[in-house]
Every structure is written in structure tokens, then in C-alpha cells.
Amino acid sequence: MSKDRPGTEDVETVAPEDRNIPTEAAPTAAAETGSIDISFSPGLTAFLASHNIALGFTSYQTGRLYLIGHGPQGKMALHEAVYPQAMGLTGNGDRIYLGTLTQIVRMENVLAPGQRANEVHDKVYVPRNLQTTGNIDIHELGIQANGRILFVNTLYNCLCEPSLTHSFKPVWKPEFISALVAEDRCHLNGLAMVDGKPKYVSAVSRSDTANGWRDDRDTGGLVIEVESNRIIAEGLSMPHSPRVHEGRVWLLNSGTGELGWLDPHDQRFVPLALFPGFLRGLAFHADHAFVTLSKPRKGHFEGLALDDRLKEKDREAWCGVQIVSQKDGALAHWLRFEGAITELFDICVLPGVKNPITLGPNSVEIRDFLTIEPASP
């Protein structure tokens, strides 16, 4: 992984010689996936520091969980760990949940308040539970009020909980899905949680045939209210990542490259901003929206309205993260990848976190990283 381009701030990555507590070295992954160039907006590090946040985002293409924060001397701190087909992501200062190719991973921060790893890292997220689901194409995740994880099972077109004895436990499916079979019929993908309950989901179409959603990518998208099973919005283009934030139902109309919300009167999609890429992954903090962008993938993301929109504006699709004002859609900051990485999936904001790291479950470092929980008084 190369350093950022001239004209931006320095990137600080985790290197083996820096560690007192073992950590997985970020540059190692670049050698496996090919050269990756990183550039980002001047002031992004200061923005993260001023809001006292770090970011996590995933790429199933490279099989990586990425964490960025603000390190010493005002440098951007970047860390990555290997998680095969890293997809849905949710978390906070103490815990991160991640959906991978075959598992739901729970990571716990092992540092107490005020503790530091390698003198600079305020959070060390260690995988403590990996529950195997098999390859069911896990998409977005949510944490329920009872603490149990909920996830979108895209292959079987349903919402599920992990099972102690089986691959998964279905808890809900759209009414138009006639059977739970491994056919990815409607491409159920996004999940909005409200007060610890699933509120809305997004799907690419209402197809009830195997891979039928692929024939209706342009205008077949919909948003469904989970409790009532009512379709509240239709005619969308590959919608992803519905979120309820400050009284609005937000979502990504990925086929047109737009972030927007649903009008409360007629549920019409109201675009806020156009992005130069295919969108999946949406988070909010304060008055900003955080969105992950991907380059169009041949056969799946190509041939959509997004292609024509970018040509009209003479813009090139790219892969990375953009942060925009939720008031007017103005671009505040960005982080861009070039080279071997072309697709990202999900993003989460880690409040109260400065410079986090995580250990991959198959890393060399995790074998000798041992911590002991204090005994109860």
C-alpha cells in the first residue's frame, strides 16, 4: 500500500517495528491484493479529530476491514485486517459486528479507558466470537434491543438471527417471497433499525424467481416496512442502506448514484447529492452523511442511469468514502482508493474513538495477544 499523493497529509500505517502489543501490519495486505494508492482531502484528519470519531468500512472485493482515525502529529491513521468477503458492518466504541463470507464476527475492544496500545492506539478490537452461517451472502447488520444481532440474508431473501445449532434462524421475509430457498430472488440488501427493532429494508425488485432481480435493476427497487410488510416506496434503482435519521427515511438510490430521502407525504425519493460511483454503505454523525463509493462492476453495476449521469457531468467513477453535509449535500471531505481496490460495501462511525486497530482472526499476531478479564470482587 503506497502513501497518499502529494498535496495531502501523511498516512500513518501500523508497522511491525512499532508494536509493543502485537498488531497486524497494514502494508502486508497490499502485497496480497496488489498496489493501492490512497489520497484524501486536506483537513480530513482534523475533521475526524474535531468530531472525536473514527471510521470503519469494508471491502468484500479485497476481503478487508479498514479503520481510519487520527494519529500523532496530525497524521491520518489507517489500519486494515483480513476478513474474507467483509460486508455488513455496525459498531461503536466498545464493539464491532462484521458479516463475512461465512461468519458473523463479534469484536470487542480490550483496552480500558485511558489505556493505550503501542502508546497511540486507544482501541484494540479483537474477534471474540465467530459464528458460522455458511455462504449465505450476508449484507447489512443491526443490533436489536435485546442485544442480539440481526442480519440480511440475501441468498435466502430474509432477515435472520444467528442460530446456536444451525446456519441461521429466519425471523422475517417479504410477503411476495413464497419460499425460503437459496435463489437470491429479490436481492434483499439494506436494513434500517429504529429503537433496537428492524424498521425498513431495501430490495432491488419484488421478484419471486431465482435471480429475477437482475432483470429489473433500473426501476424495480423498493423499500418495505418490516412490521406491516407494506411497500412504502417503489420505482427505485438498486436501492441500498435505508437509514432513519432525524425524522427522515434516508437511502442510497445506487443505480442513479444519489443519496436522498423519502418524502413523508407521497414516499417519493428526494435526491440530495449525486456521487461519482455506485453507492452502498451509509452512516450519519452530527450534520454529515458518510457514504462509500465503488467503481461500476461489469455485468452488475454497468448499464444503469449512473453511467449516463457521470458522462453528462464528465465525471469519472471512483472508489472511496465521501462525507457530505446532510443539509445541502455539499462535499466536506473525501478519501479515495486507486489500484487493486475498486469496491467498498459498508461504513460505520465509531464515536469517541481516535486511533483504532483490530486483529484479523487468522493473523500471526493474534496467537500471542492474550488478555485476562479481572476477577469479580
Burial letters 169-181, b for 16+ CB under 10 A, else e: eeeebbebbeeee
Q: Name the grid cell of 263.
A: 418524502
Q: Nearest-CA neighbor of 257 among 326, 315, 187? A: 315
Q: What is the pLDDT of residues 87-108, one digit of tens each?
A: 999 998 899 999 999 999 999 9
Domains of the chain: 11-368 (2.120.10.30)
Burial letters 25-39, b for 16+ CB under 10 A, else e: bbebbbeebeebbbb
pLDDT at 292: 97
| Averaged pLDDT, groups of 10, the chain, 377 residues long | 38 38 37 76 95 96 95 90 96 94 96 92 95 97 96 98 97 98 98 97 97 93 97 97 96 96 94 95 97 80 78 88 97 95 96 95 89 87
Between strands 76-82 and 11-13, the pairing is: parallel
Residue given cell 411476495 in the structure block: 176
Element (H, E) at 200: strand 197-203
pLDDT at 23: 35
Q: Nearest-CA neighbor of 75 among 12, 1, 137? A: 12
Hey, is 230 helix, strand or coil?
Answer: strand
Q: Residues 197, 200, 203, CA angle at the centre, nearest 5°?
A: 135
Q: What is the pLDDT of residues 48-60, one digit of tens each?
A: 999 999 999 999 9
pLDDT at 69: 96
Q: Which amino acid is at 260?
A: G
Other CB atoms within a 10 A radius of the CB of residue 105 amount to: 22
List, in sequence order, every residue forming a beta bridge with 121; answer none if it has no partner.
117
- Contact (Cβ atoms closer than 8 angstroms) between residue 81 and residue 360: yes
Give the Å distances, CA to CA, from 282 to 55, 69, 90, 135, 142.
Answer: 12, 18, 11, 24, 13
pLDDT at 299: 54
Q: Give the Cα separation of 19 and 360 in Å (integer).
A: 16
